[in-house]
């Protein structure tokens, strides 16, 4: 990836994070007997009542076909509201709290699932929930982005902040840091 332009590199990193999210193993409960599956050389029994571990993308397919149910509970609007509260309460980079694992991807999936349900159910509560989730997500992004931008001015803050950032945010911070560094170097006379 060394020869990639910084912008393309960021795009690629974000894409990789998304792929990693879709490949992560999740536990599902089989709710209907089906013929066994073979995915990537691996044999998967689909026997009603058993709990198995499959990649997330496969879990989604099995769930949409009515074959399985997710074992772990998905993210909810309350979870997003909690993150919103803590993000907006942080006054300094030191007070910023790490996000729950896969927060951005989960929140995106949650909003997408709400959109699907709204199309099917035409429920105003769902519409309101979706708007709220979207608004909270935007505000969380704006607030955290502000902290990331502030940290660029001081390498010590950056070091402290890096452990609290989600992979998507780390990719952006890294990209911005390198871009600014490149820009600075292009403005200064060469050092010998």
Partner 1 sequence: MAALTTGVEHEQVIDVHERFYEFIRSFRDRSGSYKYRERIKQMITMGQKSLIVDYNDLYLFDNRLARLLIERPDEVLQQASEVVKEVVMNEAPDYGETIDRFYVRVRALPRVVPLRRLRSEYLGKLVMLEGILVRTTPVKEKIVKARFMHCTREQGCHRFDWPPEGELIGDILERPPACPVCGGSSSGTFRLLPEESKLIDWQRIVLQERPEEVPPGQLPRSIEVVLQDELVDSARPGDRISIVGVVRVRPDSVSKKRAVFDLYIEANHIEVSQKILEEVVITREDEERIRALARDPWVRKRIIASIAPAIYGHWEIKEAIALALFGGVPKITEDGVRIRGDIHVLIVGDPGTAKSQLLQYAARIAPRGIYTTGKGATAAGLTAAVIRDKTTGEYYLEAGALVLADGGVAAIDEIDKMRDEDRVAIHEAMEQQTVSIAKAGIVAKLNARTTVIAAGNPKFGRYLTNRTLADNINLPVTILSRFDLIFILKDRPNPEEDRKLARHVLEVHRETERIKPEIDPALLKKYISYARRYIRPRLTAEASKLIEDFYVEMRRMSSENPEGPIAITARQLEALIRLAEAHAKMALRSEVSREDAEAAIRLMKTFLESSGMDIESGRIDIDVIMTGKPRSKQEKLTRIMEIIEELESESEEGCARLKEIQRRAASEGIESSLVEEAIRSFRRDGIIYEKSLGCYAIVR
Q: Which residues contact partner 1 (rule: CB under 8 A)? A: 27, 72, 77-78, 81-82, 84-86, 88-89, 101, 123, 125, 129, 132
| Exposure class string for 132-146: b at 16+ Cβ within 10 A, else e | ebeebbeebeebbee
By residue count, the chain amounts to: 192
Instruction: Specify the residue, 9 or 132, whose C-beta has the smaller distance to partner 1.
Output: 132
Instruction: Specify the residue, 85 or 178, whose C-beta has the smaller distance to partner 1.
Output: 85
In whole angstroms, the minimum distance from the beta carbon of 156 to partner 1 comes to 23
From residue 97, give the alpha-carbon distance in Å to each of 63, 87, 138, 143.
33, 7, 17, 12
In whole angstroms, the minimum distance from the beta carbon of 95 to partner 1 comes to 11
Instruction: Specify the residue, 88 or 118, whose C-beta has the smaller distance to partner 1.
Output: 88
Instruction: Specify the residue, 27 or 185, whose C-beta has the smaller distance to partner 1.
Output: 27
In whole angstroms, the minimum distance from the beta carbon of 82 to partner 1 comes to 5
In whole angstroms, the minimum distance from the beta carbon of 4 to partner 1 comes to 32
**Burial zone of 3 (CB within 10 Å; 0-12 exposed, 13-18 middle, 19+ buried):** exposed
Distance CA 182, CA 160 (A): 23
């Amino acid at each position: 990836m060394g020869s990639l332009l910084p912008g393309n590199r960021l795009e690629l990193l974000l894409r990789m994070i998304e792929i990693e999210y879709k490949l992560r193993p999740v536990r599902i409960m089989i709710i209907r007997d089906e013929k066994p599956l073979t995915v990537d050389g691996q044999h998967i029994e689909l026997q009603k009542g058993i709990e198995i571990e499959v990649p997330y993308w496969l879990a989604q397919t099995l769930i949409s076909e009515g074959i399985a149910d997710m074992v772990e509970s998905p993210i909810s609007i309350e979870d997003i509201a909690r993150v919103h509260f803590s993000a907006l309460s942080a006054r300094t980079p030191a007070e910023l709290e790490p996000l729950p694992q896969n927060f951005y991807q989960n929140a995106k999936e949650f909003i997408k699932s709400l959109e699907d349900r709204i199309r099917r159910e035409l429920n105003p509560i769902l519409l309101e929930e979706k708007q709220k989730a979207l608004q909270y997500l935007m505000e969380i992004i704006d607030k955290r982005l502000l902290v990331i931008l502030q940290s660029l001015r001081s390498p010590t803050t950056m070091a402290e902040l890096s452990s609290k950032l989600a992979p998507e945010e780390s990719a952006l911070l890294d990209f911005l840091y390198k871009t600014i560094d490149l820009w600075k170097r292009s403005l200064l006379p060469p050092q010998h």
